[in-house]
């Protein structure tokens, strides 16, 4: 009798732990350790965020593997985990992050207007964007590629789009949308632009377009989510170093985020974040790229 009671109690306890683990895994996949005792120089962004005990972060809401709202309403993905790592180093727990959807086109704007504290959103660092915002990182280097329907054999790379007929989809305000124009005979007719990549995936599925172009890892996420409907050409033709966007001129905050990335690479949090997210389709975790400490 005693033993049976004990067994029952153990089962209940195990169930409770299981549920708790489940509940927290959605909101914090890797749960980086929050530095509670941390102190920052007065007047810095770090000090301000630490004292406020809340952060607003811009990310994508519809990009599997990097930033996606799941069915429970939690955000999951590598970008989300990178943001949590930065928040934890600021002494702010993940559940005190307010997430803001930042489609490609609005990223500079929301940073300039102070609507977010920083942006982690498959955001390529480049000189044009650096005129408006600052970038920590890169924390990953992707490459532009092309996705087509599984049965398509007519498109083997960007050159296949030079025919002036085939339609390719990308997103307004993204680097791939600009780059692909250089391959198109008639960009006005051939390039279809939406605000988010999930709409491009729908257009490809419905055969309204022949291809989707953006960073390979974004396409891999869409392919994974498509249940085998799409395939990657797998001929990357650019380098897309992903940075964390922040207010231009906030050099102390930029240096802090860079230091945080280096610390996360050292203590294993960076690799853990990858494995829990993008590692689902690319199991080999990347090495943190050499940072651009300009």
Burial 96-111 (b: 16+ CB within 10 A, else e): ebebbbbbbebbbebb
CA separation for the pair 179, 119 (Å, rounded): 22
Q: Tokens 């990223």: give the residue.
A: 107
Enumerate helices (H) and strands (E) in the chain, giving the number of each. 11, 13
Task: Provide the binding-site residues for ligand GLU, judged by CB under 6 A.
Answer: 104, 121-124, 171, 174-176, 214-215, 218, 240
Decide whether 92 or 278 has the Cβ nearer to ligand GLU.
Answer: 278
CB 116, min distance to ligand GLU, A = 15
Residue 114's SS3 state is coil
Decide whether 88 or 136 has the Cβ nearer to ligand GLU.
Answer: 136
CA separation for the pair 206, 134 (Å, rounded): 39
Dig out the tokens for 102 from the structure. 């930042």
Answer whether the bond into residue 138 is a cis peptide, omega within 30°. yes
CB 102, min distance to ligand GLU, A = 9
In the complex, which residue's CB is closest to ligand GLU?
174
CB 63, min distance to ligand GLU, A = 7
Q: How far apart are the first and last CA of the chain?
A: 70
Decide whether 50 or 104 has the Cβ nearer to ligand GLU.
Answer: 104
Decide whether 152 or 215 has the Cβ nearer to ligand GLU.
Answer: 215
CB 271, min distance to ligand GLU, A = 22
CB 171, min distance to ligand GLU, A = 5
Residue 123: what are its φ and ψ, rounded to 5°?
-105, 105
Decide whether 60 or 272 has the Cβ nearer to ligand GLU.
Answer: 60
């Amino acid at each position: 009798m005693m033993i049976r009671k004990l067994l029952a109690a153990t089962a209940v306890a195990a169930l409770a732990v299981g549920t708790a683990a489940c509940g927290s895994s959605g909101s914090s996949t890797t749960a980086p350790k929050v530095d509670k005792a941390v102190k920052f120089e007065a007047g810095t962004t770090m000090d301000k965020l630490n004292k406020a005990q809340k952060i607003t972060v811009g990310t994508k809401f519809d990009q599997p593997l990097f930033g996606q709202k799941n069915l429970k309403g939690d955000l999951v993905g590598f970008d989300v985990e990178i943001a949590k790592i930065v928040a934890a180093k600021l002494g702010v727990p993940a559940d005190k992050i307010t997430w803001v959807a930042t489609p490609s086109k609005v990223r500079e704007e929301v940073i300039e207007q102070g609507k977010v504290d920083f942006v982690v959103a498959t955001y390529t660092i480049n000189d044009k964007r650096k005129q408006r915002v600052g970038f920590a990182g890169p924390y990953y280097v992707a490459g532009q590629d092309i996705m087509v329907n599984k049965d398509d054999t007519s498109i083997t790379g960007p050159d296949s789009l030079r025919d002036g007929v085939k339609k390719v989809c990308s997103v307004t305000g993204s680097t791939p949308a600009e780059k692909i124009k250089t391959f198109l005979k008639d960009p006005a007719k051939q390039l279809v632009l939406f605000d988010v990549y999930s709409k491009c995936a729908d257009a490809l599925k419905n055969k309204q377009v022949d291809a989707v172009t953006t960073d390979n890892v974004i396409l891999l996420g869409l392919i994974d989510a498509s249940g085998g409907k799409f395939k990657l050409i797998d001929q990357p033709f650019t380098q897309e170093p992903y940075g964390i966007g922040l207010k231009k001129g906030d050099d102390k905050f930029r240096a802090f985020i860079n230091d945080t990335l280096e610390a996360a690479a050292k203590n294993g949090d960076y690799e853990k974040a990858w494995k829990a997210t993008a590692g689902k389709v690319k199991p080999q975790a990347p090495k943190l790229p050499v940072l651009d400490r300009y």
